[in-house]
Amino acid sequence: MNLYVLRHASAGTRRQNPVIDVKRPLDKEGKQQCILVGSYLNALKIQFDRIISSPLKRSQQTACFVGTEIGYENEIIISEALAPGATLRDFQNLIESLNGNESNENILLVGHNPNLTTFLGSLISSGKTSIRLRKGAIARVDYTRRPGTLLWLVEPRILRGIYGKVTSKSRRKTSRK
């Protein structure tokens, strides 16, 4: 089973009121990050069997935009195990429930920091490991054996660099006098 762990894209400034913060949507930069991630996954020809998201709006939007970009047609599953208040045990229970099903070859998990970094670390290490995930970053973990193997981690700034190089003009720049 391949697990793709995606931190939700940029959603602006965090709100002090937790009730309002739960409903915070993606900003313009976040939507662009989703398109970049989706384009990257398309270039790798990755299709997901399941997309599972935290119940918060910004994660659901990230999952939806990336899913749309790659042509995902199934329903996005909402799970409290990816919410900001979820515990490591909640996350492990989610992974165990997915692991028993043979149709789950590629799974996209969309969540939040700080717990998502701990969850990712728990997939690849038996100790307390944490891996930094910036907003819009995606990691691929081969989880066929325990612990899993981190195959790659890509951040939006790297994707912007790749996208910029691909779309830049072929003519050399000349100085303007």
CATH number, residue 127: 3.40.50.1240
Give percent of the chain with pLDDT exceeding 90.
65
Total structural domains in the chain?
1
The model's pTM is 0.87
The amino acid present at 146, given as its one-letter code, is R
Quick check: is 24 in a domain? yes
174 within some domain: no
pLDDT in tens, 98-134: 887 778 899 999 999 889 999 999 999 877 787 889 9
Domain extent for 86: 2-165
In a domain, 177, yes or no: no
Residue 172 in any domain: the answer is: no
CA neighbor of 36 nearest in space, from 73, 3, 6: 6
- Compute the average pLDDT of residues 31-43: 92
73-99: burial string, b at 16+ Cβ within 10 Å, e else: eeebeebebbbbebeeebbeebbeebe
